[in-house]
Structure 1
């Protein structure tokens, strides 16, 4: 059961709130965009996939929800990231919610990793999260606070052995979250980390969900149901809303009871 937006919780504090999402064109990010727009938030997102992102904007607009603002960009380009954050704030007002969602879990073996590939894994999975937080902080401080939601993964908790660069980056995000929560806290900026389990995005199902993967889910998860992007988006809504006003510097695991 994937769940749907219409039957989820409504958070009045999110209506009209300026939200910025990285990697919003597909997968978990796509669901984040849809869910925040359904709350009446003013959403802007950045993604490399232009066609998919424009289809998402059109689909949301056709439903009658506030259409998100899409900006194309590669998050390895920090100046482009900064420019899109500035554009989003100009269009929707100071950013109050940052969802640092974008990442890439391509599989790789340690013996095949070059210095260049390692640096690229860090740039794709963790570096942009820090600089996005750095960029939104002045806006949040000026408006009395905000919520930064960094996206980690349970992979570092379980020690997945098929993507060491990705696992390292995701572990680093937890440390970064705690450091920024302490530094930004006096300005009432909350910083938390989401740790999803194995989420059934189109990419995951196409590339890696095979009979062996199905057996692993059955053996490892406490709950028998599959984990889908809306399950992650609904937790993000809570962390973005005023309902979680005293939640900061924490990991929020949504994995069906895997770890």
Structure 2
């Protein structure tokens, strides 16, 4: 299993790979690959549950999926998202909820979005308790209403400067890694070069220290994948063909045959 120190040492040396996953079955597949990190993201609200956004995802649901992924991938460095309203209230509640995730799922780290006053203090409190934290800037899904939808962030000078400032504040507060989502490639590269901690891009260009994709997106299982996603497989077609074959064999009396009967 990767460690925090090993992951941080990869900055400027080796690109880091991360995949977002929600189930034990897929986690077990990834456990036998060289991917360094697994993220149990609150994107499960849209990808797994079919909702419009991530805002209704609960702490209990994150823990449930975190437990499933850990059972499937006992050998991977695993991070779990703190869902909406699990850390925005105050640092004390943030620490309590981060502790619940770590204790109940066996996760190695938690992730939270933004760099406002509560988020920064929450990072300090959580890391002081010995729990590693990953930051998240750019498009932050839990702020979808404030950001007026799914939009690239940091496009003008003021917004770009704020992202740079927020990134430094998060690093100073104690995050060991920073996710940059839907940020112009040049800006993401500038932030990456300015920080001592690794950055993980998603729709943020190749200049980051690593990349993350949702497994359903990159495997071709989620029909609403964002523009920045590259499909590395077309499992939707594979599954469709398998179902068609199953239906045909049942209708024709070919399944089950003697090999699949007692």
TM-score range, shorter chain: 0.3 to 0.5
Q: Structure 1 length as normaliser, TM-score? A: 0.38
Structure number with higher helix proportion: 1
Q: Decide which structure has the larger Cα Rg and report it.
A: 2
The TM-score with structure 2 as length reference comes to 0.37
